[in-house]
Structure 1
Amino acid sequence: MGTNSQRSDFKPEVDLNRNAPPRSDDDRAMSSVSVKGLKENWQKWSSEHQESQKLNPFSHDTRQTVVVLQRGQDDYGRPQQGSLTEKRGKEAHTHIGREVQKLCEVIRDIGEHGGKGITVEFGKLFEHYVAISNTLVGILLRARKQGLVNFEGEMLWQGKDDHVAITLLE
């Protein structure tokens, strides 16, 4: 094609401010006020950040004002009261509780009544429950921990453990 000066679509750079009127004293004062406001906002953010770093356990700020809980104390290993983490944990706990209830209902529906309670094989339960949720084994482990179901072994594997009996205890 050629150099820029030979191209037909070439436009030289234009200084857009060359025709601007000179700045008045009011304009200069207004810009200094906005810079002053920016400085104050930055200082406010900086102070707030320093205070939040005092509460951050991963911060290298050595002036920690938070009492660090030790093992054995009541709130050790628990989120702060009223925090988003506590809220999410409660929501998750409620969700898992509903999943465990659904699992028990499915076992009641498809299981066989026997002497020990309602029993179903893992393979049959897996085939029915897969349409409800993909977390059957985790929910089974939680239900066993709560004393609602019982089965042999630590973990159940599809295919390998299809004939393991799962008993609903309630």
Structure 2
Amino acid sequence: MSGNFLTIPGDDPIQRRSRSSSLTDLISAFDTKAQNHSELQKVTAFSGSFDKNRKPTFSKDEYGKPIPGSMTEYRGAEAQARVCTEMKELCEIINEYGKPPCKSLLPPELKDATKVISFGELFTIYTVISDKLVGILLRSRKHQLTYFEGEVLFQKRDDDVPIFLMQPIDDIRTYCNNRALQARRSVSPMPN
């Protein structure tokens, strides 16, 4: 047995150098990531190494938004896509179980309504599917997919409040699918 005991028999010195440089690169990348994490923990109020003397600096565009590429950003985009899917499902239920409104009795701002259903009837149908009816209704009204009177609807008290579907269901499907796709594409597929 000849040679250094640290060498592998038949080991080429050029391969060993490239292996060692790739290991050095890995160690360097790990150290950089560990250093960045350590710096982030110093400005995170909920970490054990929080330093109240160090304050994070944000531009107006960054304030209140998660760090790009983080799991927080990824989870937020997934939640936004899920809400778009739930809005679409709600509108499909209104379209399926609702009735065409009497256009002559509607005020001018509701002339585009395609279907109408009472809140009580919708509540009975939708609670089998989800317990978030009022929240999804508010979100769909914000996106001008539905319309109803009042700030918040309550079971029993508001059972007779009409809920209007404001666009054709095909337009709503397209809109919600595009919004969900846009939310998912807005973040990197493999967050850090």
Q: 1:154 aligns with which of 148, 151, 154?
A: 151
Shift of 1:56: 2.4
Mapping of residues 16-165 of structure 1, within 5 Å: 50-57=38-45, 59-63=50-54, 66=56, 68-70=57-59, 73-114=60-101, 115=103, 116=111, 117=113, 118-165=115-162
Distance 1:133 1:77 in 2: 29
Normalising by structure 2, what TM-score?
0.57
Paired residue total: 121
Shift of 1:166: 0.3
Deviation track 1:90-115 (CA, whole Å, cap 9, x = no partner) reads 01001100000000000000111122
- AA matched with 1:80: I
Greater shift after overlay, 82-91 or 109-118?
109-118
User: Quick check: 1:107–1:120 contact (8 Å CA) kept in 2?
Assistant: yes
5+ residue gaps in structure 1?
Answer: 1-43
Q: Which has the larger radius of gyration?
A: 1
Higher helix share: 2
Shift of 1:76: 1.7
Deviation track 1:40-85 (CA, whole Å, cap 9, x = no partner) reads xxxx9xx857534334256225355x5x225xx2222110100010
5+ residue gaps in structure 2?
Answer: 1-30, 104-110, 168-192
Greater RCO structure (CA 8 Å; 6+ sep): 2
Distance 2:40 2:152 in 1: 43
Distance 2:73 2:43 in 1: 17
Normalising by structure 1, what TM-score?
0.64
RMSD of aligned alpha carbons? 2.1
Distance 1:53 1:61 in 2: 11
Work out the percentage of aligned pairs sharing the same amino acid: 44
User: Quick check: 2:43–2:51 contact (8 Å CA) kept in 1?
Assistant: no
Distance 1:50 1:125 in 2: 51
User: Quick check: 1:53–1:61 contact (8 Å CA) kept in 2?
Assistant: no
